Structures are given as C-alpha cells and as structure tokens.
C-alpha cells in the first residue's frame, strides 16, 4: 500500500492526459516524502580558494563588477543551477584589494561576513563603519544598505554567508543600489553598535529597536575568543560551542541564520548526531577532521566545509596540544521558527 | 555599471574553467536580482475541477493510494517539476467518497483544508475529530497526525493548502504513517478545541499550549460568516477582510500560512496593489472578477485562482445584489517573520 | 535561631536610638516574613447593596459627584484607611439613574465593570460606546478616557473592579478629567471593537494594536454564556471556568487584573485549594455556598464576596436542577508576571 | 464640580452611618486622585552608614540574627511603619564580618546587591558562588535560595535593594529557610553564569532558561566600567547611562527592579525631568550634587540617596577632572509592565 501503483479499473491514460492539460497533477504519482539530500558534504581547501580569488582579482576589478565573489557551489546542487551551498544557504569568498570599494546596495537576502584575512578595511552597514579583522563576525541583515572599502595595504578576504537559495526559492529577491552614490555616508560613529553593547547584559538606558535582527552588527573576535576561553561546559556533539545572538531580544542574529563559534580542545572527539538544519564551517584555527555520513574530511586552518541537513556528523581535533576553532552558520533559527527542526543522536 | 560585462584584462576563460572544476562560481556572472515571477496568475473552474475529481475516483480508490488529490500546478512553474501553485504554497483538490478513509499520517509540511462540498465526513487531527461543512477552515499543522473519513452519503470535496514547495526547497520533507493503524483513535471529544475557544477572547482558565500553531483547529463557517457580517470597516484593497488567527497567542494560524475570509459587497470594486506574498483564492460565494497585472479573471462560485507574489491585483463583485465571499491563504506570515514582506499600492 | 532575640553583648539601646534618628532600621527587629492575611473573607448581600445604592441616589446626584459609588471595604483592611477589598483590588457598586451622566475622566488605575442590573445605558471608552446588559464585562483600562450615561428608564447598576489599592500603594495614582467636556465624543461606531472581534480566532486583516490591554473592550454576556455552555472540561477547583483574555495577544485583559466566568453545575462541589492571588466574586446566577478557611458563606443571585489570597476555598452549588454562575476577577496576572504566584491544593 | 461637596437634599448622616456598618464606603468622600508623594528625597552619608554598621556588628552577630542589615527608612514613610525607602523599594546596608555566614533562605521579594567594600566574600545563589568586589551587581531573584559568606580578612559591606514594600503591600511575602542547612551546597562551578555570558551577544549554544529573571547573576564591575568607558551617547537627563538587563531575553534583570550605571563626566550637569518611577542611587565614584524638587543634595563617594517618584531631579558633577559614577535601581520595569509609567521633562 501507500506508494504502490493504484489498481486501475480502466485505462486511465486519457485521464492523465487531460488533467495535465488542465494544470492538475495527481498526487499519487508523486515520489516518496523524505529529504532528497541532493546536497553533499564538501570541503574547499583554503590555498585553492585564496589562489582563485587572487586570479579573480586579475580578471575583474570592483570598478567593473559589483562584488568580486566566488560562490562555493554544492556539487550535489550544481546541476540545478541554483547558487547554493545548502538548500537554504550559500557560502562565498569575497575579496577587495587595497583602494577598492564594493559599492553600496541592499537586498532581501540576509548576509553575514566571517573575516579571514587582512586589515584596514571596513564594512559600512546602515551608516555604521565596522572595521574588519580575522575572526570577526559582521552582519548586513536583510534590506540594510552596506558597502565595503579597503583602506589597507593588502587584500581583504572574508567568507560571505547568505540565505540566497531560500530567498530565490521563495522568489522574493529584491535588490537596489544605494541611490546616487557608490558608498553610503557614515551617519553613525564608527562601530557605534559595539559601544552600545560593550558588556554582557548591558545596553544604553532607554535603548529602542524595532527591527528583527541584532542591533549589534559586529561581534569582534577578541571578545568571542575570550568568551570561548571562559566557557566551561562542553556539548557532546559540538565541544565548547557558543551561539552569537541578538543581545537586545535574545533571538537569533538574523531570522534565518544562526551563527556559532566552537572550540574543540586538543585531542577532542565529539559524538555523532544529525539534524535537519545544514551548517557551513570555517576553520578559524587548528586542524582536524569531521566525519560526515561515513566520509572523512580533513581540515586545516581557513578551510571551509559544508555539512548538509540530516547528515550524521562528528568532529575531531587531531592535535595533541592545540585547540581547534570552528566558526559556522546554519539555517537552524529558520527551521525552529517554522516548528520543523529535527535532531537525532546517532544510536 | 552594475551588471554590465566586466573589463577583462586577459583571457579569463581558463580561470572560468578552473573555478567551475573547483565548485566555485563567479557571482558577477549571475543574473539580475529581482523576483523571476515565473509563477503566473491562473484560474481553475470548478466544473472542471469537480469533473476530473470524479474521474479520479474511478481511476483510484483510497484503498490503493494514500490520498486522492489533484494538485493545481502553476503553469509557469510546471516545467521545473515542482509540485507548486506558488513558490511556497500548493493548492490541491481532495475528495473522499462515502465509506472511504484517507489514512493517518503526518509530515513536516503544514496543511489546511477549506471545505467545498459534502457533509458527514470528518478530519481527525491529533485525536480530535472535526466534522466538515462547506466554508469551514480546518488545520492539520506540521507534524500533527491526521486522517479523513467520509461517513456521509455523497462525495466530500475540499481544497488543500500546503507549504510543500517551501518544505521541498529547504529539503526538510519528513513523513510518517501513523504507527500500525489506518486511522488514529479519537483521544479527545469531537471538536474539543471548538468547545475551548467558543467565544472571542475566552478560553479555559489555566489553558496551556506550547505549540507554534493555533490550538483552535477548526474555524466553522457559521462563525466566520457571522464575523464577516459584523465587520464594518472595509480595506481599500480587499473589502471586508478577516484574518483567521491563533486565538491563544495572536499569531498566525500556522507559522508559514495565513488565512483570510473576505466579503466584497454587491457592486464593490477594490483598489489595486501588490505585495511579495502570493495568494490562493477560493470563491466561496458569488461571482466577479479579479484583474491581475492587466489580465482579467472572471470567477464564479467554487472556482480557485492564484495571484502570485508581486503581481498587481484588484477585485470586483459584478453582482448588483449579492455579496461575494473569497476564502484565501498566503505565505504572508512567513515573509513577515523573515522581515522581507513588501507591499506597494498602485500609483 | 532566626527570629529569636539577638545576644546583646552590651546595652544596645543607645545604638537603637541613634540609628532611628538617622532613618535606619535594624532588620533583625522586623516581624516574621509571611502573608499577614489582614484581609478577611466577606460577603455582601445584594438586597443590602441595592438598598444602600438607592439611598445614595437620594443623597447625591451625578451633578454633584463624579461617581455615585459605594466601595466594598474589606473589614480586615478598613482600619488601615485603604480603599480596598483585597490588598491589590477594590470592588464597588456604581449606579446611574435615568438621564444621569458619570462624567468623562481617566486615571492610572485599571477598571472593569460587571453589569448587574438595567438596560439602556452605555459606557464610552476611548470614543467607543458600549451598551450595558447584565452579565457583560466592560473594560476601561488604565489611562483610557471613559464616561457612563443612562438613556434608559430604570437605574443602571454594576460592579466596578479596580486595582486602586495597588496603584495607591505604589503612589502612582494620576487622574485627569476629560478636557472641557462632561462626556467625550463618540469617535468610533458603537461597539466597534465587538465588530472587529466577532468570532474566536478572527480579526480584521492588518489589525494593529500597541497597547498592553485588550482591544476587545466588551465581552457580552450572550457570547460568554454560549462559551460556558460549550465548555466540557471542568476544573477540580473551579468547575467549568473560562478566562476572559486579550484576543489579539493571548495575554490577560489588562496587565493587573484577570477575569473569569465559571459555571458550577447543579449539585457540583469543588475541591479546595489556595493561591496567593485574591478573588472577588459576583454571583451572576443561582445559589450555593463557598467555604473559605473553614467559614461558610451562603450566596444567592447578585451577591458579592471576596476570597483573600492564600485562603483555602471551595465552592458548592446546592441546587438540584439549576446551574450557578460566578463572574470573578483577581490579581493573578500581576502575580504571575512578577513570578511570585503560588498555588497549593488542600492535602 | 468634581471633588466639591455634594448637595445633600436631606440629612445623610444616617446613611453614612449605615453604609459604614455594612463595610461600604462612599467614593465621593475620597480624597483627591494624585500621587501623595509622602516619600521624600533623602541622602545617607557613607561615614554614618558605615559607622552604624560597625556598631551593629558589636550588637549582633550572624550567629544570632539571620541578617545584619540596617534599612534606609524614608523619613516620609517612616510613620506608616513600612520598611520602605520608596513605596515599592527598600534600600539597606548589609555587612558580614570575616568568618561570618548569612544563612541560606529564599523569599518572594526580589533582591539585588551592589557591593561597596571588601573582598574575599561570596554570595551563593541557586548553588552558584559569586565573589563580591566593589561595584559588582549581584542578583538574588524572587524565590532563589541565597546565602553569604565572608572568607576574607575585613568586613564585607554592600547595598541591598529589594521590592519588599511592594510585596508587603500585596501581602504576598513568603519566606523559607534552606532545609536543614545554614548554607546551601555549591551545585555549580563558581561564577558559572559569568562563563556562560562572557561576551555581548554570546551564550552557550542550546542554552535554555524558563525563569523570568536574568540567567546572568553577577555583573562584574570590571565589565561595567569598560562598557561605561565605551559608551559615547549621553542622555540629556542622565549622562552616559547603561541599563543592566537580562542578556537571554532582553528584559529587565528582574521583573520589578531595573538597574543602571551612569557616568557624569567631569563638569557635567544634566537637564531636569521627573517620572513616576522612584530611584535609589549609590555614589560609586566621585562627588557632585543632585537637585530634587528644588532641594540640593551634595553627595560623595559611597553615599546613598533616594529620588522618589514624580520628583523633578537633575545631577551635577562638580569636579573639573574626575568622572562621577552612580549605580542605581528603580521600579521602572514594574510600572512599564503595568503600562502606567509616566515621564515629563521640566519645562
């Protein structure tokens, strides 16, 4: 029963022809109801990512293209033509060279930046300049204007995380250039939001905020590192793991994307589990490996890898003396808000 | 500037070849950032829907297939193979014949039922039997077990509304049959939730509810009609329009789908607007037409039509003496929760 | 140990004198830490209430006093001079005679009205006229302008419930007359809020509301009665009991006061419990008795009685054939919001 | 009109006698509806507070009394017998001497501690030891078990802030000693909550918390000072002012009490305003004065003063070179939750 072929009293072919013509489709001809798991686990090595990025700098300049970005295409989703690393999220490497500007725009996809290399560049979000250093997490939420400028001496490279595949699937992609200018004016003091949220559980008296994303737009690595060092209670599946969150409401940093920093102590190996949310990991420090549905991925500093939804996974730090640190982002807040997040330990 | 072709200093073809091999894609080769609007407005006439449904009853029985359902495929999305009426939602007609049972299962897609024809059948949701009459709205939220049984004398036909395309795009479709039985046992009194929420702003003292969907699982047409009759303040774009909502929290009936009943008074014609959410309409009563991006769709009782997102639309009731009533559902709660809902009046 | 007298090494009297002069008080001289339970259970018989109200009409007219109100003073709190029926709440009987107006004002105490007798009068709240019939619950929340007018032929009498003692204890009583007029103009249609919330789980599409109290300002007895009749699941301590709540948010009708309607079926007798919130009951229909800390109070139609906080109580309907209906209000939402509500069944 | 004497058609004295006997009180005999403002502004000088505290140590030991606490009695409220510094809040100085223990108990009043002097002592809250240093804010919320122990070499002195007057007025004071022991066992690592909330907007992944107060139970002065130094945007009425808040939800630290740290830069003078919430200030650093309803209060380091509700006030730092820092707490969250907080700039 169930999905087996129906008993067909008479030849139904004329019926099937006709309903097709009327834009009707019999549900009983549908395939099984389970995740297709077309997305596959994959790892991109940093030397190759960086190398191609440098070549891209020869091929195009930010004078000619809005963004110099290489998207990390999930091999399993590539044939569908979607710009996707997981069904809901995309990862990409972006670079701006000294003196370059990535011009100001906004769009309905939400975006975050995990800084990998460089100094002396900033992202300007809604009039607030945020200076970028490796390990920083910077938010440019849905529909907030943002531009990037490199005033330093070397290339500035970061990992972009966006919910483009989700927004594309919903066909709600809207985009606008900042009116009349390549860069938006700084209407706030530099890093103003960091001066408002400078200690845990402290904010300006009478602070008001109506938006559905974090009023703290940069989480500096220096504070994240300290918080990771302070954290004492490891999770069996993820080691010492912190969530970046909206300090004004307790919600996720943005409605669709959750961000995490985790430390795997020297020699640590986690238990295996799976969940319906997918994760993209950046190896901020150290080396080790992850096993995803039986396949081992060895990672080193600055590599990027993806664990698609409902794939069993575990992590290991091979080093005897060095901690490993992973910064990651997922669609967990989205699935939880919809009430359909599932999680399962490996038996 | 913007999306124009990049100045290419040297022949970049080798670069483009290589990044493709590494599962990287240059963002600057991407298409424009705006809704693709592949979904088109479309209207399905009731006589055809009903006629094909009756033929389907000859072709398959609920002994052989889980559900006797004809999905209303958006002509613009059909080629993609998606089971979709809009990018996020699907509409379908379901019928069970006297004595038939649609067996118990649950799934991550959220579903609702707008009853069109018949009597003497029920939906059982989480152990609560809900008897179906034309105009009723019945919820079977994500992951709640549900089955249908027709104990009446004629066919029972309703409109199914689900967020299947969204769930499929996110690859989070999970599905299970009710363990060991074709139908679930009734663990609550029939229509128990209606006896708990029987008057506006009244609920059992000490009522508790942790789920993210409405604890009221059926909105009977009788009460909806009364509320529409009481409503005095028309909306310029939608006439007298009520939202069905979660009476315990004030939120939407389910996180992804919003439901509405609206009355267009005799002779009424609304103003035109567009919004990024898409809507599927069932003509519960009366006749009239809607203009969607310049195209006129004349509708009569029981027809079903779709207005895709970001399509300008307006409605008119042609009758001199009869009100028209539309029952509809949309993905507006989802887009609002993500902070990306947009709305625009027609200038 | 604990509250026993301290060992006093030397004569501390000079110390006690001096700290007193400096406006300092040794905590160790304080009394025990438990509810004082000064408020006592008490019952006011309707014939006496009505009789005195009629006499009050001879003594004062609404031409001369803002309100013709007799407060029900808790005998245990009377000596303190507080205008209080419980530590947080007050009950009072108000009457306006045909042609009379109780002039428009607003104040920080929140108020509700449970209508007892009369017809043809209205309360106007924030520009909305609400016609009063026995059993109706009408809200005039904190700082909302309200006035009353009797356009009928007989006296209009109701029970006022307010959080005056709380507001007085916090010394946050503010009060203003409506500027320049005895009555406010009707800026909304009569009973506009009832036409917006006319069925459970239905509201005008795009309805917005920022206030912290219910947008439904009258709960008509007709609908309450129907909801009580529909309710099937009795509570062991309170019989069939409904909470009036804010249909737009799921919160209480007002932040400080919760309202309830309960039906004790013929012959019903509840179990006994106690909770830190206090309750004031109006006998809307029937007769029976309540036992409060061992003391029996026999009540009949229209009587009013108070069960102070942390007093064990149970209810009984003595009738063999008639249901009894109690309408009550409490400070439970306040105590729950503060996280200090306690409840205890009688062992 | 309004509160003028009623026209009395006949002698109403018999009526007034009779209603009094029936525990009824005519509202029209009530006094005016405005804050009574019995609480007065007052300042307690630190040398006197400390001096009396040292004498108290001679008078009683923590072997003999539960707490060695001197309450700061508002001179305007003293006659009422209430243990109150404002209508809702009380301030008190507590001291434990080396080797002493203040035994474990819990109670419905919420409490906070602002540490003034000493080192080497801790508060244990719900099994978590929190070490006390000057400027720290420590929470012992309603009904959480707490005890204090001095393992240092000198006296440990702090300011206690509680909502005792509110809880007393509501008659909901419950109190229990920790069962069977003078001190509760440490069930968590020392300062565990600080290791969970160590950076702004970061918390343990999957952290759960159901209570209505902050999961961060100590706000260390070191972090507060840094946040004050980072803050750039002064408020006209309060200078550079931070709110301590619940980092997990964005709400106040406890439902009834809000806490603030503010810096008045050298030479700063604020504008004057008033609000219905009352505030108790501890001068953590510097000297200056506040003008409260025209009365000037000169304060120096460690002094404590109270600004009652609805009293106009402004602050000034007289120093040419030194910042002044005030730590304060108020009943603002309570009044805001009830929707009755009022604020008014001085014209």
Q: Which residue of A has its CA nearest to D208?
A: A250
Give the closest residue to A166 by CA, choosing from B73, C165, B60, B88.
B88
What is the C-alpha separation between B75 and B78, in angstroms, rounded? 5
State how beta strands A156-162 and A90-96 pair. antiparallel
**What's the CA angle centered on D37, arms D36 and D39, to 5 degrees?**
130
Q: Which residues of C touch D170 (CB under 8 A)?
A: 87-88, 166, 169, 331, 334-335
pLDDT given for residue D6 in this prediction? 52
pLDDT given for residue C82 in this prediction? 87
Which structure tokens are listed for D308? 């009652």
Inter-CA distances, A122 with A119, A154, A218, C146, Å: 9, 13, 11, 56
Average pLDDT over residues A58-63: 87
Q: Which residues of B touch A10 (CB under 8 A)?
A: 58-59
User: Is A26 part of any domain?
Assistant: no
What is the C-alpha separation between C329 and A270, in angstroms, rounded? 54
Name the pTM for this structure: 0.95
pLDDT given for residue B132 in this prediction? 98
Number of H helices, E strands in chain A: 6, 24
What is the C-alpha separation between C162 and C112, in angstroms, rounded? 7
* pLDDT single digits (tens) B163-220: 999 999 999 999 999 999 999 999 999 999 999 999 999 999 999 999 999 999 999 9
Residue A179 sits in which domain range?
42-201+212-345
**What's the CA angle centered on B9, arms B3 and B12, to 5 degrees?**
75
Average pLDDT over residues A214-222: 98
pLDDT interval class at B9 (50, 70, 90): low
What is the C-alpha separation between C28 and C41, in angstroms, rounded? 32
User: Is C15 part of any domain?
Assistant: no
Those chains having 3 or more beta-carbon pairs within 8 angstroms of chain C are: B, D
- How many Å lie between the alpha carbon of D229 and the closest alpha carbon of chain C? 33
Low-confidence ranges of chain C (pLDDT < 50): 1-5, 7
Given an 8 Å threshold on Cβ–Cβ distance, is B27 in contact with A69?
A: yes
Encode B6-44 in three state secondary structure: CCCCCCCHHHHHHHHHCCEEEHHHCCCCCCCCCCCCEEE
Which structure tokens are listed for C314? 């149970």
CB A277 within 8 A of CB A136: no
Q: Which residues of D touch A227 (CB under 8 A)?
A: 198-199, 202
| For chain D, the helix, strand and coil percentages under 3-state DSSP, each to the nearest 5 | 15, 35, 50
Given an 8 Å threshold on Cβ–Cβ distance, is C216 in contact with B201?
A: yes
Q: Which residue of D has its CA nearest to A222?
A: D199
Number of H helices, E strands in chain D: 6, 24
Give the closest residue to D193 by CA, choosing from D176, D171, D209.
D209
- How many Å lie between the alpha carbon of B312 and the closest alpha carbon of chain C? 18
What is the C-alpha separation between D340 and C108, in angstroms, rounded? 6
Task: State chain D's mean pLDDT as an integer.
Answer: 94
> Which residues of chain C from 215 to 254 reach within 8 Å of chain D, CB to CB?
none
pLDDT given for residue D34 in this prediction? 87
Q: Does A261 touch chain D (CB under 8 A)?
A: yes
Neighbouring residues of A47: CB distance < 8 A, sequence distance ≥ 6: none
3-state class (DSSP) for residue C339: coil
Given an 8 Å threshold on Cβ–Cβ distance, is B250 in contact with C248?
A: yes
Q: Does D276 touch chain C (CB under 8 A)?
A: yes
Q: Which residues of B touch C199 (CB under 8 A)?
A: 200, 219, 223-224, 226-227, 242
3-state class (DSSP) for residue C266: coil
pLDDT given for residue A4 in this prediction? 41
User: Is A89 part of any domain?
Assistant: yes
What is the C-alpha separation between A345 and C171, in angstroms, rounded? 56
Inter-CA distances, A99 with A83, A96, A124, A129, A155, Å: 29, 8, 15, 16, 10
pLDDT interval class at D329 (50, 70, 90): very high
Give the closest residue to A162 by CA, choosing from A91, A105, A212, A94.
A91
Q: Is the pLDDT of residue B309 over 70?
A: yes
Q: Does D196 touch chain A (CB under 8 A)?
A: yes
pLDDT interval class at A293 (50, 70, 90): very high
pLDDT given for residue A33 in this prediction? 79
What is the C-alpha separation between A223 and A133, in angstroms, rounded? 12
pLDDT given for residue D2 in this prediction? 38
Q: Which residue of C has its CA nearest to B244?
A: C202
* pLDDT single digits (tens) B76-97: 999 888 899 999 999 999 999 9
pLDDT interval class at B2 (50, 70, 90): very low
* pLDDT single digits (tens) A258-268: 999 999 999 99
User: Is B34 part of any domain?
Assistant: no
Q: Which residue of C has its CA nearest to B248?
A: C250
Q: Which residues of A touch D243 (CB under 8 A)?
A: 202-207
Residue scoring higher pLDDT (A215 or B2): A215
- How many Å lie between the alpha carbon of C222 and the closest alpha carbon of chain B? 10
* C205-210 contact pairs (CB < 8 A, 24+): C205/B235, C205/B238, C205/B241, C205/B242, C205/B243, C205/B260, C205/B262, C206/B235, C206/B243, C207/B243, C207/C248, C209/C248, C209/C249
Neighbouring residues of C76: CB distance < 8 A, sequence distance ≥ 6: C37, C38, C39, C40, C308
Given an 8 Å threshold on Cβ–Cβ distance, is B201 in contact with C261?
A: no
Q: Does A34 touch chain B (CB under 8 A)?
A: yes
What is the C-alpha separation between D299 and B260, in angstroms, rounded? 62
Residue B296 buriedness (CB in 10 A; 0-12 / 13-18 / 19+): exposed
| For chain A, the helix, strand and coil percentages under 3-state DSSP, each to the nearest 5 | 15, 35, 50
> Beta-carbon neighbour count of residue A344 at 10 Å?
11
**In which element (H, E) is residue C48 found?**
helix C46-59
**In which element (H, E) is residue B242 found?**
strand B240-244
Inter-CA distances, C244 with C163, C247, C252, Å: 17, 9, 7
| For chain C, the helix, strand and coil percentages under 3-state DSSP, each to the nearest 5 | 15, 35, 50
> Beta-carbon neighbour count of residue B81 at 10 Å?
8
What is the C-alpha separation between A253 and A246, in angstroms, rounded? 5
- How many Å lie between the alpha carbon of A148 and the closest alpha carbon of chain D? 24
pLDDT given for residue A2 in this prediction? 38
Handedness of CA D19, D24, D28, D34 (dihedral sign): positive
Neighbouring residues of A10: CB distance < 8 A, sequence distance ≥ 6: B58, B59
Q: Helix axis angle, D13-21 relative to C46-59, nearest 10°?
A: 160
CB B303 within 8 A of CB B184: no
User: Is A15 part of any domain?
Assistant: no
Kindly state the percentage of chain B with pLDDT values over 90: 89
In total, the C-beta contacts within 8 angstroms joining chain A to chain B are 267
Q: Does B42 touch chain A (CB under 8 A)?
A: yes
3-state class (DSSP) for residue D15: helix
The answer to whether the complex's ipTM is over 0.85 is: yes
Nearest to B246 among C201, C214, C224 (CB): C201
Those chains having 3 or more beta-carbon pairs within 8 angstroms of chain D are: A, C
pLDDT given for residue A11 in this prediction? 73
Handedness of CA B11, B12, B18, B20 (dihedral sign): negative
Q: Which residues of B touch C192 (CB under 8 A)?
A: 232-233
User: Is B24 part of any domain?
Assistant: no
What is the C-alpha separation between B29 and B25, in angstroms, rounded? 8
pLDDT given for residue D31 in this prediction? 63
Neighbouring residues of B56: CB distance < 8 A, sequence distance ≥ 6: A15, A19, A26, B68, B70, B95
CB B178 within 8 A of CB B103: yes
Task: State chain A's mean pLDDT as an integer.
Answer: 94
Which DSSP string do the residues of A244-303 spell out, in sequence order? Answer: EB-TTTSSBSSSS-EEEEEEE-TT-BPPPEEESS-EEEEEEE--EEEEETTEEEEE-TT-
Q: Does A273 touch chain D (CB under 8 A)?
A: no
Number of domain units in chain B: 1
pLDDT given for residue D4 in this prediction? 41
* Rounded-to-10 torsion of CA B300, B304, B310, B316: 10
What is the C-alpha separation between D139 and D133, in angstroms, rounded? 14
Give the closest residue to C140 by CA, choosing from C105, C189, C175.
C105
3-state class (DSSP) for residue C88: coil
Sheet holding D295-299, edge to edge: D295-299, D288-292, D313-317, D273-275, D343-345
Average pLDDT over residues B268-289: 98
> Which residues of chain C from 126 to 145 reach within 8 Å of chain B, CB to CB?
none
pLDDT given for residue C6 in this prediction? 52
What is the C-alpha separation between A253 and A142, in angstroms, rounded? 11
Which structure tokens are listed for C276? 């830190």
Given an 8 Å threshold on Cβ–Cβ distance, is B232 in contact with C200?
A: no
What is the C-alpha separation between D57 and D70, in angstroms, rounded? 11
Given an 8 Å threshold on Cβ–Cβ distance, is C201 in contact with B238?
A: no
User: Is C163 part of any domain?
Assistant: yes
Given an 8 Å threshold on Cβ–Cβ distance, is C23 in contact with D69?
A: no
Q: What CATH number is associated with residue C271?
A: 2.60.120.10
* pLDDT single digits (tens) D15-32: 999 999 999 999 988 766
Query: Taking every pair of C-alpha atoms in chain B, what is the biggest distance, in angstroms?
Result: 77
Question: Which residue is it, tokens 């898409």?
Answer: B278
Sheet holding B156-162, edge to edge: A24-26, B69-72, B90-96, B156-162, B111-117, B137-140, B218-219
> Which residues of chain B from 66 to 105 reach within 8 Å of chain A, CB to CB?
66-75, 78, 83, 87-88, 92-93
Nearest to B202 among C227, C232, C249 (CB): C227
User: Is D1 part of any domain?
Assistant: no
* pLDDT single digits (tens) D150-185: 999 999 999 999 999 999 999 999 999 999 999 999
Q: Report which DSSP code applies to B238.
A: T
Least confident stretch, B224-228, D59-63, D227-231, D270-274? D59-63
Q: Is the pLDDT of residue D82 over 80?
A: yes
Residue B5 buriedness (CB in 10 A; 0-12 / 13-18 / 19+): exposed
Sheet holding C146-150, edge to edge: C128-131, C121-125, C146-150, C101-107, C175-177
pLDDT given for residue C12 in this prediction? 83
């Amino acid at each position: 029963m169930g999905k087996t072929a129906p008993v067909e009293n008479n030849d139904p072919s004329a019926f099937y022809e006709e309903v097709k013509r009327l834009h009707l489709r019999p549900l009983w001809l549908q395939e099984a109801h389970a995740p297709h798991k077309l997305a596959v686990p994959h790892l991109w090595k940093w030397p190759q990512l960086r190398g191609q990025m440098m070549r891209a700098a020869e091929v195009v300049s930010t004078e000619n293209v809005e963004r110099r970005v290489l998207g990390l295409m999930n091999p399993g989703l590539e044939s569908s033509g979607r710009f996707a690393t997981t069904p809901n999220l995309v990862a990409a490497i972006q670079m701006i060279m000294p003196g370059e500007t990535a011009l100001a725009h906004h769009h309905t996809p939400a975006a975050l930046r995990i800084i990998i290399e460089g100094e002396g560049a900033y992202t300007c979000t809604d009039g607030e300049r945020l200076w970028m250093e490796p390990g920083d997490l910077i938010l440019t939420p849905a529909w907030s204007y943002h531009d990037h400028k490199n005033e330093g001496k070397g290339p500035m490279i970061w990992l972009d995380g966006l919910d483009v595949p989700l927004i594309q699937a919903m066909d709600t992609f809207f985009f606008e250039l900042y009116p009349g200018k390549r860069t938006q004016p700084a209407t706030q003091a530099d890093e103003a939001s960091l001066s408002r949220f400078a200690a845990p559980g402290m904010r300006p008296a009478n602070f008001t905020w109506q938006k559905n994303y974090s009023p703290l737009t940069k989480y500096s690595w220096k504070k994240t590192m300290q918080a990771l060092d302070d954290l004492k209670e490891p999770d069996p599946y993820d080691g010492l793991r912190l969530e970046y969150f909206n300090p004004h409401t307790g919600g996720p940093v943005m409605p669709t994307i959750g961000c995490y920093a985790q430390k795997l102590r020297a020699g640590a190996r986690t238990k295996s589990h799976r969940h319906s949310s997918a994760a993209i990991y950046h190896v901020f420090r150290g080396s080790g490996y992850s096993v995803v549905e039986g396949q081992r991925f060895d990672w080193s500093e600055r590599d990027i890898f993806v664990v698609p939804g409902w794939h069993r996974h575990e992590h290991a730090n091979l080093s005897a003396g060095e901690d490993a640190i992973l910064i990651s982002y997922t669609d967990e807040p989205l699935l939880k808000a919809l009430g359909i997040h599932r999680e399962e330990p490996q038996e």
